[in-house]
């Protein structure tokens, strides 16, 4: 046990980053589940990450804006290609998404083949470094997410495919750089999955569950001195499992988990 | 009487403040933690950010890293871009102005040794961005000898009350180190010109010291799999000059070494790389004792 890390200055920015990510990813995740395109975030996140790596490889890293524009363009292109695929060949969409993920991941290895820090960049992209986040980094993301949430709830983006894909790409591009692919996937899918039987309280319940997962994960990672991102993923899953069991008991179903 | 009691109580209250508090040292790698312990003993409380089982190029963000950085009086790191992936961002998050680069609270070991493997020209296309040279300086004991006085001076400067003690400990360490150096040099004499392959280019300083003949590298870039043409070339090289051993660090996977060992026959050798890298390498002395013993096993 180690209580050194239990300090708001240390855990606070990471927690705020988590809240920001949850704010957009919970409603997006519910839509992802409804559409049955679970792995789309892995594909889009990997494509956005590929954009970042490409910008680095072209030595554009002096300009942070160029990097963000490259990442967003890459993610948007990927998302629109997937949207086109959904319209044209809905029956093979999931297979195309999976293939795009593998292609983007392999392309990253090729881009980094001549970079002595290649392995680190690849790992950073996946695991993320949520504890390194500082408050200044959160400001542009907060602005972007306010805009996304405004369009999402104001214009009913959930029901318009094109808008969904665009907002999804922008949200993921920002979050994957803050917290990494694993946490992005967990924030999208796990709360949405846990609350799918909660009816009209689903969104609120998913937000609460996500917040509890991040808070517990950060505190536990401080106490056990383990990498925070991975502990948060596990806490999100444990809270989701517990709430599924509770709701199953309450609604009188014998086994609520894994049974659709 | 009452005054006396009060003054004794007052003195008791002050006692913990008068007792010299240990300096808090944040060490990026275990070898520097070991050196600080040699030179400072109980005067320093040392935290080590990485273990021998971790690649110091890359570490995961853990809460304790930030907590320790915030309260450190002295940060001791290799430098030479070894920690660029995490130290700057950790320092920014730690927000401890006393240990910023350029202040006395920041000690960069690489500043005190002659660097090897400095690129002739800097070209991104060649992929080598270690502009200051190979950063794995701890594997030449002569480098430890060069760094120790500078580190002792820095400790003395930050903690002047114990300055004499740091100098005394340095002298003692130097004596023990010199006799160990003589022992190692004698033991390592037969290892000269021994042909080896390394997993990654982390052994330049060991090769330089022992005169090992490095004829190839399995993984030119850490974490990025080598190309097939590179491996084919390595196999051809080994046909002409067979290597005795293929050397890797504890944090490097054995699979590439196994492949080469099967293809071309060199003995697989996991050297400790730093303090804590195996059961024998409990301090800097053990690090070199064990490295030489293991190399001798590969030499028939």
Whose structure tokens read 């907060």?
A142
Rounded to a whole number of angstroms, the distance from the CA of A113 to the nearest CA of chain B is: 6
Q: Is the pLDDT of residue B235 over 70?
A: yes
Which has more confidence, A9 or A151?
A151
Q: What percent of chain B lies above the pLDDT cut of 90? A: 61
Mutate to test the interface with A, among B129, B224, B251 (most CBs of A within 10 A): B224
Quick one: average pLDDT of A34-59?
84
DSSP state of B220: S
Which has more confidence, A128 or B95?
B95
Contact status, residue B99 vs residue B69, Cβ threshold 8 Å: yes
> How far is Cα B246 from Cα B47, in angstroms, rounded to an integer?
32
pLDDT at B117: 84
- CB distance from B58 to chain A under 8 Å? yes
If you average pLDDT over each of A41-50, B219-228, B234-243, B270-279, which comes out highest? Answer: B270-279
Nearest CA in chain A to B66: A10
Whose structure tokens read 């005169």?
B211
Is B208 in a helix, a strand, or coil?
helix
> How far is Cα A177 from Cα A45, in angstroms, rounded to an integer?
9
| Beta-bridge partner residues of B268 | B246
Nearest CA in chain B to A110: B224
ipTM of the complex: 0.70
Chain B residues in contact with A228 (beta carbon < 8 A): 61-63
Which has more confidence, A136 or A56?
A136
Q: What angle do CA A82, A61, A187 make, to 5 degrees?
A: 45
Nearest by CB: B222 against A116, A129, A221:
A116
Confidence of residue B2 (pLDDT cuts 50, 70, 90): low
Chain A residues in contact with B127 (beta carbon < 8 A): 114-116
pLDDT in tens, B188-220: 999 999 999 999 888 999 999 999 999 999 887
- CB distance from A135 to chain B under 8 Å? no
Nearest CA in chain A to B95: A9
Residues B62, A129: C-beta atoms closer than 8 Å: no
pLDDT at B61: 80
Is A192 in a helix, a strand, or coil?
helix
What number does CATH give the domain A8-250?
A: 1.10.3470.10
Q: Is the pLDDT of residue B230 over 70?
A: yes
Rounded to a whole number of angstroms, the distance from the CA of A237 to the nearest CA of chain B is: 20
pLDDT at B5: 57
Least-confidence region, from A192-201, A202-211, B32-41, B221-230: B221-230
Q: What percent of chain A lies above the pLDDT cut of 70? A: 89
Confidence of residue B20 (pLDDT cuts 50, 70, 90): low
Quick one: average pLDDT of A212-234?
92
Quick one: average pLDDT of B220-249?
84
Is B270 in a helix, a strand, or coil?
strand
Confidence of residue A201 (pLDDT cuts 50, 70, 90): confident
Whose structure tokens read 């790698």?
B29
Confidence of residue A258 (pLDDT cuts 50, 70, 90): very low
pLDDT at A60: 63
Rounded to a whole number of angstroms, the distance from the CA of A114 to the nearest CA of chain B is: 5
Mutate to test the interface with B, among A105, A123, A132, A232 (most CBs of B within 10 A): A132
Contact status, residue B214 vs residue B197, Cβ threshold 8 Å: yes
- CB distance from A136 to chain B under 8 Å? no
| Beta-bridge partner residues of B246 | B197, B268
Confidence of residue B103 (pLDDT cuts 50, 70, 90): very high
| Beta-bridge partner residues of B48 | B27
- CB distance from B98 to chain A under 8 Å? no
Nearest CA in chain B to A119: B223
Separation of CA B18 from chain center? 34
Number of Cβ within 10 Å of residue B196's Cβ equals 24
Considering only residues 101 to 140 of chain B, which have any Cβ-Cβ distance to chain A shorter than 8 Å? 124-130
Whose structure tokens read 């409990």?
B282
State the Rg of chain B over Cα.
Answer: 22
Rounded to a whole number of angstroms, the distance from the CA of A250 to the nearest CA of chain B is: 38
pLDDT at A259: 42
- CB distance from B230 to chain A under 8 Å? no
Chain B residues in contact with A231 (beta carbon < 8 A): none
Nearest by CB: B61 against A116, A120, A131:
A131
Tokens for A218?
């950060």
- CB distance from A110 to chain B under 8 Å? no
pLDDT at A117: 61
- CB distance from A131 to chain B under 8 Å? yes
Rounded to a whole number of angstroms, the distance from the CA of B238 to the nearest CA of chain A is: 24
Nearest by CB: A132 against B61, B128, B223:
B61
Closest C-alpha to A225, from B234, B123, B66: B66
Q: How far is CA B36 from CA A19, B47, B153, in A?
A: 41, 10, 12
pLDDT at A260: 41
Q: Is the pLDDT of residue A6 over 90?
A: no
- CB distance from B225 to chain A under 8 Å? yes
Q: Is the pLDDT of residue B123 over 80?
A: no
pLDDT at A253: 55
Tokens for A244?
């599924």
pLDDT in tens, A142-194: 999 999 999 998 887 777 888 999 999 999 989 988 898 889 999 999 999 99
Residues whose CB is less than 8 angstroms from the CB of residue B231 and which lie 6 or more positions away in sequence, other chains included:
B218, B259
Rounded to a whole number of angstroms, the distance from the CA of B99 to the nearest CA of chain A is: 18
> How far is Cα B128 from Cα B119, in angstroms, rounded to an integer?
8
Q: Is the pLDDT of residue A132 over 80?
A: yes
Q: Is the pLDDT of residue B128 over 50?
A: no
Mean pLDDT (chain B, rounded): 88
Least-confidence region, from A91-100, B120-129, B140-149: B120-129
> What structural domains and CATH numbers belong to chain B?
18-182 (3.40.50.1980), 190-298 (3.40.50.1980)
pLDDT in tens, B21-41: 789 999 999 999 999 999 999
Nearest by CB: A7 against B67, B222, B224:
B67
């Amino acid at each position: 046990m180690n209580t050194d890390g239990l300090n708001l200055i240390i855990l606070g920015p990471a927690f705020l980053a988590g809240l920001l990510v949850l704010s957009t990813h919970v409603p997006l995740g519910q839509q992802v589940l409804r559409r049955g395109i679970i792995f789309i975030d892995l594909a889009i996140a990997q494509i956005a990450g590929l954009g970042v790596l490409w910008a680095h490889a072209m030595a554009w890293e002096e300009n942070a804006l160029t990097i963000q524009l490259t990442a967003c363009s890459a993610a948007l292109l990927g998302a629109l290609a997937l949207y086109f695929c959904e319209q044209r060949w809905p029956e093979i969409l999931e297979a195309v998404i999976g293939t795009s993920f593998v292609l983007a991941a392999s392309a990253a290895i090729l881009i980094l083949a001549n970079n002595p820090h290649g392995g680190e960049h690849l790992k950073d992209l996946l695991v993320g470094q949520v504890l390194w986040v500082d408050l200044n980094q959160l400001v542009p993301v907060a602005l972007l997410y306010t805009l996304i949430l405004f369009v999402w709830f104001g214009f009913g983006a959930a029901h318009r495919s094109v808008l969904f894909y665009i907002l999804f790409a922008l949200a993921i591009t920002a979050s994957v750089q803050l917290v990494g692919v694993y946490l992005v996937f967990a924030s999208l899918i796990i709360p949405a999955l846990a609350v799918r039987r909660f009816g009209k309280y689903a969104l609120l319940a998913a937000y609460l569950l996500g917040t509890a997962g991040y808070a517990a994960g950060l505190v536990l990672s401080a106490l056990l001195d383990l990498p925070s991102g991975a502990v948060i993923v596990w806490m999100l899953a444990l809270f989701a499992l517990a709430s599924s069991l509770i709701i199953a008991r309450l609604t009188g179903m014998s086994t609520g988990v894994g049974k659709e | 009487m009452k005054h006396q009691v009060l003054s004794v109580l007052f003195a008791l209250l002050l006692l913990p403040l008068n007792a010299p508090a240990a300096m808090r040292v944040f060490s990026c790698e275990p070898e520097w933690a070991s050196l600080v312990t040699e030179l400072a003993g109980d005067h320093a409380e040392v935290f080590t950010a990485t273990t021998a089982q971790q690649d110091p190029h890359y570490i995961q963000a853990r809460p304790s890293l930030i907590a320790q950085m915030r309260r450190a009086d002295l940060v001791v790191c290799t430098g030479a871009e070894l920690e660029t992936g995490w130290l700057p961002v950790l320092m920014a998050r730690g927000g401890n102005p006393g240990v910023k680069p350029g202040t006395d609270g920041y000690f960069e070991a690489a500043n005190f040794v002659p660097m090897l493997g400095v690129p002739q020209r800097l070209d991104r296309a060649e992929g080598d961005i270690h502009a200051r040279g190979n950063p794995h300086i701890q594997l030449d004991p002569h480098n430890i000898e060069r760094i120790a006085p500078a580190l002792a001076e820095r400790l003395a400067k930050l903690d002047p009350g114990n300055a004499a003690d740091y100098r005394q400990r340095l002298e003692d360490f130097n004596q023990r180190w010199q006799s160990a150096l003589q022992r190692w040099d004698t033991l390592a004499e037969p290892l000269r010109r021994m042909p080896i392959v390394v997993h990654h280019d982390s052994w330049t300083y060991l090769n330089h010291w022992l005169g090992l003949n490095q004829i190839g590298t399995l993984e030119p870039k850490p974490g990025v799999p080598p190309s097939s043409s590179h491996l084919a070339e390595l196999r051809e090289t080994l046909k002409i000059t067979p290597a005795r051993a293929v050397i890797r660090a504890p944090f490097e996977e054995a699979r590439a070494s196994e492949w080469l060992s099967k293809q071309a026959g060199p003995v697989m050798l996991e050297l400790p790389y730093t303090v804590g890298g195996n059961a024998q390498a409990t301090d800097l002395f053990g690090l070199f004792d064990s490295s030489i013993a293991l190399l001798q096993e590969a030499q028939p």
